[in-house]
Structure 1
């Protein structure tokens, strides 16, 4: 049926709905007048087919009747009158729903009203598809991309009505991009390009949105960015690159952060890869550390060590840290002679220079020069100039030959240089302390060894013989030279008395001939002298030691024997031989024994006179139990009482002697030197007794000291030469003991002096050495034989006084002062005459207390040379300790 109001409908209203969404179709049901109301609303599709009705007529006035076309709408529509205007809501809009809808409204009194609505169905685009540079679809994560690289993504959108717009967003930020038609119809695309990606782009989310309406939300696809990052930093962790000590192990740590994936660390030195390291990656992968175990040497000083962090998945993904090594090491030294010196052509008197080249880190703070291990001190006055790295020796002598080194010190320690041997050419000289006296019998061979020092070694030797009448060369066939050992051995056989004398040896080398010959004396062989100055040491319950001074060996090699006997039984306890020296240690003795000991010196010619000693072993300590032992008067106690009584008598005698001396002091010549003496105390006597009981006193000085005055000048005193009896020397060799000349020495037999007789010897003093211990044997005083020179010195007779006490049945000898008076016209006195001659100028102040005296006689004669006499002191002398004049 035709609609009578078709021409009054007016232009249609517009309505839009998204496909699948809800369309709201408006319809004005308000009546034209207020006393009217709508009673029926009918909706038409395409103005033909009714699809929905809302009926308020009749019985539906209170409850409206809703009807809809089941075939078209189903249950999708609902008319609402509560909105303004009233609307027909159609859900699940489909594309066929697009078109024109008409709403007819019938009122109670007013005419029907029609309105048209043009519904547009919007078809949204499909979900965007993101494509990477390789044309592959990106599901959720794009990349990975390198730090510093570019990213290019395409967003493809198909479908959609009207045509959609495609945009890239990063969070709330619209990115600068441009969409354009695709290769196919209904296809839109938008390309996103991000240049120079930074680590801030890691895991960034980019959205591609497509929208063709403002009703619904745009369709979008999101993608996150995965990246490979360069190492952010790499650092060698050391104490501000502190110095290292050579030959010590160190753990050097290197750490890198910021690399994705974790960086690989490697170590290099001068382009050479180091492998001795261990690496560790943190749990989050952000940090990698490496520990290099390194033992530097001095060759590593100033080398550069590099720690390299590398991400191989990133171009130019390398970071490095370097460390220039500062290696401390002990100084290295090289010592050499001056560059212009020939080490094989240095003679005495030349100047020598040394250079010490030092390589050290840190620098040496001290350089020390050494000669044969001894530090050289700067002494410019003596020609030794020491500088830090140089040493100068002016006018060198042979004592400066030897090994030279330099020592440099720094905080790492001391460095030692090589040894440079300084060889100084010098003429041969005699080696000191070689055997000078050879004792040999007639028709026996003596092997005389002449040893010299020389550089270069001697080339030849020459021997001569001197028997005081003439000097003649020894045929070369009689000696054998050894330049290797710098010695010559002369085989000498005396046949007559004239064959005894002196042989001399000279050596020659490149530097010249020896200046002073080596002198050797050939004497008739004899028995050795007995050991003397014996001392007991280390006495225990089972052992003791004996040390003696060896006497003259008689010109033959000697050894020593010790026999130990039990004093009570006489049984032999031990028999000990010593090859080197007169020192013995006896083991395995019984405790508490008193022992007699006999010592001998033995050579090829026989045995010496015996030296007697008394000793003892200590008693074993016994447990003291039971009743006390009653007091018992023993011989030792009686001896001690005797000593005390003797000391009292000594005190009285000393006081008397001092008084007499003070009265007669005015009678002495005023021009003679006086020797002050100190009176012995009783403490001195007992101290000497306590220190070395039962031991023969040791006296290393000469047996006697002779002093005197010649025209106011004291007469010098010399010792008798050890090891050479006076009878074995020529006459002119025994006259040097009363002169102020050097003592006779085994090492120098040149120019034996004679006694000048200028002036008159008025007084002489012969002092016996003070014993320091108690002696259990008879003390023998050796009488020195002194020569008198040309014309003879006359007779010299000694007298004196001494103090004698008996301690435990053993004589104790105190120091005795012996006065001597020289009688120029007297004959040599007999040794057995005990009378003491009086002296015209010096009274005998001790005659009143003289009981028995030791007589010492000094004789001189050109024809007669008596051997050393021995006078037995059987009664000790009483000493007044007066000054010797």
Structure 2
């Protein structure tokens, strides 16, 4: 087997079972290891050099087996690496660039992607050359990005190249290109004849439009803004050649020619136009063109106009499309074509047309306007305040006028120069660096042929204020007015603002700020002792000063004792009295009548202490506060001994039936005897206004008669006397009275009985209607049957009825129908309910038939048949029931 030469794959030629020597070399370069050597051929029977070697080195058979297993494992790993590398080397494109439409100057992208992008580098080729990144065209990832496609630089084929960084394998996509659409403007040029000088009237003239693009644009031709159409008589347009041909050019074809073209990119028009100006001697040509005129009122105006042609043209003037102007008192047309207008007025202003008529062609019209000179008033200036050392500008816009007014500045009657620190630039007054001397009055003038207007400007220069008298720390007496001064001056009167503890002081009844900045504090109080700040300011800047105010307190009670006070009988009570001053005052109490204080009354820290109040403690007491510098002050207190209010009977929550009487009881005791008031619905109940339904009894109880649900709510009993006041609350609930079982009052019908009554009523009504309809039908049939028969000699029962008779049935006349109807008379009272039932008879009256005399003679028992027949016809429409 060793001599066969097939055991080692590396010894084979070409591509054996493995990728080849190139792949092996790459794997060796990647892994850094060589493949394992082939195993030496074994020797049968243990003979041969290998067996001798094993015996010489003492290698056992077991060791040889282990070595062979290791060699086989290494060889398997090597084969797996070769297979992995071979598989990785294949590059498969998942997205390739494709040819596409693109617009010149617009963005585009060519995409290129592979299945396994890791370890793959991309490169783009343009016409076989590598693409270099620029701001307009660059590679982004694997794609090629175009921010603006260029029809010249991006023409050709693009190809994406993917190259493995591991194996070096390379793959390329198919070529892709752009179908670039573009549209580029150009000018209109003369194609035939060769030059403008060779253009002759009545000869053909061809113009070419140099607008080009892809796809080929379609064009349009215009003259003086009007589109020209291919009528094959005057114009011939060739879209292929982009030309316009005038078959017989004449002065009537004069004008500005331009072209426009459109394709997928949009639409553009020619950048340079062609002006055709043919001269025909027979056409009138202007020699003198009239000019626009502006004159003052009642002045004269002269227009000059002249044409030339062969033969000489005729000329006329027209004003605002009216009839031609002729020589009159105020208008004169001279032989040379000039027009004179004297005493121009407002109605003379307008447009004048000079028209020249030649032997051929259209009339030539020249226009000129005549306007009256005018000037409007100038807008007034607001006063200006300038800050020193700054640059300032004041504009003086020219007023509306005809012609445009001229503007200039003056000061003290002298024009402001065009240069210097204070100068005029165009219509502006400029101060390069404002100084105090610039304050004053300036005048802006505007003038034209209509006259002159002017406006004055007042300029004030503001400077930073300077102190005349700064605020100073002050001692102000409590209860008296106090003053803090803040005097300053500047070229512009300063504005003074005062602050107290950092808060701006607004003028009110206690604070006043005078014109010179002095702050007056009316009736100084203790808490006015704090820090005050004065700020004096102008537009140029501000200064500020501080002052601390110390308040000299007066001797006073804090708080003043109440002149009338109550003490609860048989209780411990303390009456307070305190005072303040520049020095801490001493407090003492005395009886106003001069008597000494009883033993059970003591003084403690200025307070009058009663250990147990008795009736004899009532009276007038005087609190005296004194110190050395300020003397003493007194306050008299009248003390009353009273028994405080207690409730003997408090109101309780009460529930009453609607329509009944509610009573809320309340009684209180005290000395003096307390007075009781009631409060309900958030207001005091006044019995004089609520009588007679609501009353407050002498014992304090509140009585509400015939209560309703509106009376529900909270009621408060208030008991008070000259010493104290107390109250108690109670809630009144008003509910509906429940209906007792079996009660059949007027409002106690159960739903079942009500439904039963309604059903009976409806049934009776329906039965009555059916009976009436049946009787009507019966009478109608009976009358019809009797009309068909010959009437007998005697009277019919019906006629007897009509004549006042009555037919007896069971001993009663049929005109009376007896019917008994049970009626229930329901009634109720507050004490008890009563039941009433009665059986009444309802009688229907006899038929409403007025008795009439018999027709004919009654003695003979006969009647006149014609009269009876007429009477029957008249009565057939009436009912007997």
Query: Would you say same fold, with TM above 0.5?
Result: no
Between the two structures, name the one with larger relative contact order (CA 8 Å, sep ≥ 6).
1
Per residue, is there more helix in 1 or in 2?
A: 2
TM-score normalized by structure 1?
A: 0.28
TM-score normalized by structure 2?
A: 0.28
